[in-house]
Amino acid sequence: MPEVAQARAVAAYVSVGAEPGTLTLLDALRARGVRVLLPALLPDNDLDWGEYAGEDSLAVVRHGGRMALSEPAGRRLGPEAVTEADVVLLPGLAVDGRGLRLGRGGGSYDRVLARLDRAGARPALLVLLYDSEVVAHVPAEPHDRPVDAVVTPSGVRRFTRA
């Protein structure tokens, strides 16, 4: 995708469970000299960010009774660091025909999107999913905003952002 090919900084995540794998992408971005930012979950479900420097730079962290997450083990850059990204890869359970994303319900990425809006940042917002996770409709709240594209094994589907 042109957005990713031209990016100097990408905010991404390390996939968990049955999510499409991201480590190969993270390594490819880093090999191209792209600054890769990864989230670290804070106690209030907000996200701090750290730089990805290869798989050795990750620590597995269990947050309460929830799943274990691979997070950057190094220095934290603060929640505002995401505003420096040219592309933000968002995890999701589904995306609908309007480009609205269904997350896991913790609100972490809703906060990220609100932070980007407040900062006037307009990175490309992309979701990596399987084809079966692109659905007709997901429930939406007034604060939800569409992503720019969903990337699946069969291709890229773009949406128009207001």
Phi/psi region, residue 33 (left: phi>0; alpha: psi -120 to 50; beta: rest), is left
Q: Has residue 113 got a pLDDT over 80?
A: yes
DSSP code of residue 136:
S
Please check whether residue 47 is in contact with residue 72, taking contact to mean a CB–CB distance below 8 angstroms: no
Q: What is the mean pLDDT of residues 43-47?
A: 91
38-63 burial, b at 16+ Cβ within 10 Å, e below that, comes to bbbbeeeebbbbbbbeeeebbeeeee
Chain-wide mean pLDDT for the chain? 92
Residue 30 CB coordination number (10 Å): 17
* pLDDT tens track for 30-39: 999 999 999 9
CATH superfamily of domain region 2-158: NagB/RpiA/CoA transferase-like (3.40.50.10420)
* Residue that is written with structure tokens 């569409």 in the block: 146
pLDDT band at 133 (very low <50, low <70, confident <90, very high): very high
Q: Has residue 145 got a pLDDT over 90?
A: no
Report DSSP letters for 99-140, one per residue: -PEE--SS-HHHHHHHHHHHHT---EEEEE--GGGEES----
